[in-house]
Amino acid sequence: MVTFVATPIGNLGDITLRALDVLRAADAVFCEDTRHSLKLLNHFGIKKPLVSCHKFNEQAAAEKLVALAKEGKEVAVVTDAGTPVISDPGNRLVLALREAGIPYTLAPGACAFVAALVLSGMPAEQFAFLGFLRGKSGEKRAFLQKYASFGGTLALYSAPQDVDADVRLLCEVLGDRPACAVREITKVHEEVRHFTLAQGLDGEKRGEYVLLVRGAPPAENPLNVLTAEEHVARYEAQGMPRKEALKAAARDRGVSKSDLYRETLPHEKRKGY
C-alpha cells in the first residue's frame, strides 16, 4: 500500500499516531527534502530508506514509486511540512498510481491554510485556496481577477520576500478589503495579524505566510444585478440542475434557498416544478 502522510507544520507533537504507524511500517519513504525528513524521522527514532521526490524530479520519482508498489512494498509519501499535494509535490504520484491501478490512501493531518483560516476568524462557510501566486505580474493579476467577485474568503501562501508585493497586487485587483496574515503556525512565535489591503502589512517579514482576504460583498457580485429568475437561469445555462442553480443563486445573493424559491415560484409553476 502507498500512503500519503501529513506531517507537522511546526510543532512535532502534532504528528498523528497513524502517521507514526505508517512511517514505522514503511519499506521506503518518499520525501521532498531528505535532510528535512531525516530530522523528523530521527526525532521519533525511525530509520528508513529515503527517496527524494521534489518538483524537479516528481515524474521520475513517480516511476520509482509505481515500481516499488508493484513489488508489494509499503511506501509512505511525505513533504517537508503539511499535507502532500497541497502546494507541495505529490500530485503526479497520485496520477501515476491511479493510471497503474495501484491502491493508495492518505493519513491526514496538518495543513497550513486550514489552520490559518481557523486562527484568522475569517468567514469559513465558503473559501477558495489559491496557493502561491505564480508567474509574471500580469499573469498574477489575471489569475486574481477570476476571484474578484467570489464571496468566500480567499486563502493564499506567500513567501516573506513576496508578501508586500502580493498584498499590493491583491489591493489593486480586489480593492481595499479586510485581510489577515498568519505565520509560524503551531510554533512558539505563532502570529495572527489583521490589517486591510490598502493599509498593508508593516514590519519585517519572516517565515512563510498564509494570507486570508475577505470575500467580495454580495453587491459586488455582477450576477446580483439580475432578477432572481435571470440569476437562476444563468446557472441553468451552464448545465446546473434547477435545484442546484437555486442553491448557487441564493448563496450569491445572501438569501436562503427557500426565499429564492418563493421569489421565482410563478416561473416554477409554469415549468411544473
What b/e readout covers 61-82, taking b as 16+ CB neighbours within 10 angstroms?
bbebbbebbeeeeebbbbbbbb
At residue 220, the pLDDT reads 63
At residue 272, the pLDDT reads 46
At residue 217, the pLDDT reads 82
Are residues 74 and 1 in contact, defined by beta-carbon separation less than 8 angstroms?
Answer: yes
Parallel, antiparallel or unpaired: strands 2-5 and 104-107: parallel
User: Does 268 score more than 60 pLDDT?
Assistant: no
Helix boundaries (H) for the chain: 17-25, 34-43, 58-70, 91-100, 112-120, 137-145, 163-174, 228-237, 242-253, 257-263, 265-271
Question: Which amino acid is it at 59?
Answer: Q
At residue 165, the pLDDT reads 96
Mean pLDDT for the stretch of residues 59-69 = 95
User: Which residues lie closer than 8 Å to 28 by C-beta, 6 or more apart?
Assistant: 48, 49, 50, 51, 68, 73, 75, 76
Adjacency order of strands within the sheet including 28-31: 50-52, 28-31, 75-78, 2-5, 104-107
Q: Looking up cell 503551531, which residue turns up?
A: 186
Distance in angstroms (rounded) separating the CA atoms of residues 180 and 116 = 9
Query: Could you tell me the domains of the chain?
Result: 2-110 (3.40.1010.10), 113-216 (3.30.950.10), 220-271 (no CATH)
At residue 194, the pLDDT reads 97
Q: What is the pLDDT of residues 149-191, one digit of tens each?
A: 899 999 999 999 999 999 999 999 999 999 999 999 999 999 9
Mean pLDDT for the stretch of residues 81-110 = 95
In whole angstroms, how far apart are CA 271 and each of 226, 238, 264, 267?
20, 18, 11, 6
Q: What is the pLDDT of residues 204-256, one digit of tens each?
A: 999 999 999 999 987 666 676 778 888 888 888 888 899 898 888 888 777 78
